[in-house]
């Protein structure tokens, strides 16, 4: 079997770089198919380690540890995409890595990501790369205010971002980037935020989950509503965007695409993540195949499952001490509770989520 078609059968082992809750839920889904996950993560208290029989606890740039890890597994994937290129290469010398470095390279850097979508004819907020205070002044003159200045790398949950309003001092905004390369984005007047997840298998088959609405609080996903209240035409356009992107990337795995639904009824891409995504947690209790099982099937070279939704769902993240409400949540009918086994509930830390399920209406 050629390496690009290699598959993991029941009894085999999937290697996953990262070890957070996305990995933990992936391992639970893999276990249902008789597949073990071996995680590679630098933190000893990783949520994924608790549900698997073996793991590697080492730094992401420890190339020897990465090579040993890759030798112990059949295929390598990620639940965390900010991994250095050399680390991916070290693993790829031993086994297939899905999705490959080319996908991560684009998803890790906002300028590459926006350029990629724009090349496909897919709209984003207007943007300019910003590498200095002078470039920020020029970019603000071109794009106008309000706008958002973001570091091009390592931003998540709204970190590394400054909003530029009418009165914002540009020197201070640039200083907040701490010398890191940045991107200025025009502020999108959105009606709501949405996302879509597509899985793509080794043979190029694709399967999309329904488009959902996402509501954030303090930059962190708070609630996902499935399905999103959008027209069938926009829903089809969202699927087209996700499938086009997955195909152009030649991605094997799962791709989450975050979208703005504008007040004038257009879709603009905000960003993508080539892995399971927080906005797909609702699928665990409302779809025939959930995002984690679909991810395992795709990267293991197995047939994809049906992504159809059989119920409506509202997913709510349990952030920080919100997790203390678990006794009441467990007692609530129609609620599915998912806890990540994290010992300490710090502010802003995702501790678990709940899915509230109701009969499917449309
Ligand atoms: P990001 O880290 O790019 O996902 O941004 C975090 C959140 O900031 C998004 O989910 C939006 O709520 C908001 N945001 C980011 N970029 C823009 C933009 N260009 N226009 C309006 N809101 C934005």
Give the pair of three-digit tokens for residue 304. Answer: 């994809």
- Residue 270 C-alpha to ligand 1 middle, in angstroms? 7
The answer to whether the CB of 95 falls within 8 A of the CB of 291 is: no
Q: What percent of the chain has pLDDT over 90?
A: 94
The pLDDT assigned to 160 comes to: 82
- Residue 194 C-alpha to ligand 1 middle, in angstroms? 12
The pLDDT assigned to 320 comes to: 97
Contact residues for 231 (Cβ-Cβ < 8 A; gap 6+): 265
- Residue 243 C-alpha to ligand 1 middle, in angstroms? 22
User: Which of 145, 191, 270, 273, when mutated, tests ligand 1's pocket best, judged by the most ligand atoms within 8 Å of its CB?
Assistant: 270
List pLDDT tens digits, range 247-263: 999 999 999 999 999 99
Assign 159 a pLDDT band (cuts: 50, 70, 90).
confident
3-class DSSP state for residue 255?
Answer: strand
Contact residues for 25 (Cβ-Cβ < 8 A; gap 6+): 276, 281, 284, 292, 338
Q: Is the pLDDT of residue 47 over 80?
A: yes
- Residue 103 C-alpha to ligand 1 middle, in angstroms? 21
The answer to whether the CB of 27 falls within 8 A of the CB of 52 is: yes
Q: Is the pLDDT of residue 157 over 90?
A: no
> Of all atoms in ligand 1, which is nearest to the CA of residue 156?
2
| Residue with the two structure tokens 């085999």 | 12
- Residue 22 C-alpha to ligand 1 middle, in angstroms? 22
The pLDDT assigned to 1 comes to: 81
For the chain, give the mean pLDDT: 96
Q: Can you tell me the mean pLDDT for 138-159? A: 91
User: Which of 148, 268, 279, 348, when mutated, tests ligand 1's pocket best, judged by the most ligand atoms within 8 Å of its CB?
Assistant: 148
How far apart are alpha carbons 21 and 284 in whole angstroms? Answer: 14
Q: Can you tell me the mean pLDDT for 60-86? A: 95
Q: Is the pLDDT of residue 123 over 80?
A: yes
> Of all atoms in ligand 1, which is nearest to the CA of residue 270?
3
Assign 2 a pLDDT band (cuts: 50, 70, 90).
confident
List pLDDT tens digits, range 337-359: 999 999 999 999 999 999 999 99
Read off the pTM.
0.97
Q: Whose CA is nearest to atom 17 of ligand 1?
A: 187
Closest of 244, 186, 220, 180 to residue 317, by C-alpha: 220
Give, as one character, the DSSP assignment of residue 309: B
Taking CB atoms and a 6 Å cutoff, what residues make up the pocket around ligand 1?
A: 125, 148, 155, 158, 185, 187-188, 193, 216, 219, 258, 270-271
């Amino acid at each position: 079997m050629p390496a690009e078609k290699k598959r993991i059968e029941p009894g085999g082992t999937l290697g996953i770089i990262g070890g957070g809750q996305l990995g933990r839920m992936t391992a639970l889904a893999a276990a249902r198919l008789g597949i073990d996950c071996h995680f590679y993560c630098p933190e000893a208290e990783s949520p994924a380690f608790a549900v698997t029989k073996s793991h590697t606890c080492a730094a992401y740039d420890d190339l020897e540890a990465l090579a040993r890890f890759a030798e112990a597994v059949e295929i390598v994937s990620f639940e965390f995409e900010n991994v250095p290129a050399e680390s991916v290469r070290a693993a790829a010398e031993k086994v297939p890595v899905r999705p490959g470095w080319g996908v991560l390279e684009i998803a890790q850097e906002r300028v590459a990501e926006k350029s990629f979508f724009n090349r496909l004819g897919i709209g984003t907020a207007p943007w300019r790369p910003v590498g200095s205070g002078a470039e920020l002044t020029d970019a603000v003159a071109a794009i106008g205010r309000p706008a958002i200045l973001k570091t091009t790398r390592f931003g998540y949950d709204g970190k590394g971002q400054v909003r530029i309003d009418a009165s914002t001092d540009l020197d201070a905004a640039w200083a907040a980037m701490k010398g890191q390369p940045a991107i200025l984005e025009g502020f999108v007047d959105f009606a709501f935020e949405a996302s879509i997840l597509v899985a793509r298998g080794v043979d190029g088959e694709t399967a999309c989950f329904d488009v959902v609405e996402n509501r954030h609080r303090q930059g962190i996903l708070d609630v996902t509503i499935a399905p999103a209240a959008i027209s069938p035409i926009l829903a089809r356009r969202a699927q087209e965007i996700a499938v086009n992107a997955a195909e152009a990337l030649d991605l094997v795995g799962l791709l989450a695409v975050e979208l703005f639904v504008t007040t004038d009824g257009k879709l603009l891409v905000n960003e993508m993540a080539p892995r399971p995504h927080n906005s797909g947690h609702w699928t665990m209790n409302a779809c025939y195949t959930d995002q984690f099982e679909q991810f395992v099937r795709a990267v293991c070279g197995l047939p994809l499952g049906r992504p159809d939704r059989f119920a409506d769902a509202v997913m709510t993240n349990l952030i920080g001490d919100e997790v203390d409400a678990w006794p009441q949540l467990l007692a609530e009918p129609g609620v599915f509770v998912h806890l990540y086994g994290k010992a300490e509930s710090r502010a802003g830390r995702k501790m678990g989520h709940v899915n509230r399920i109701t009969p499917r209406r449309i």
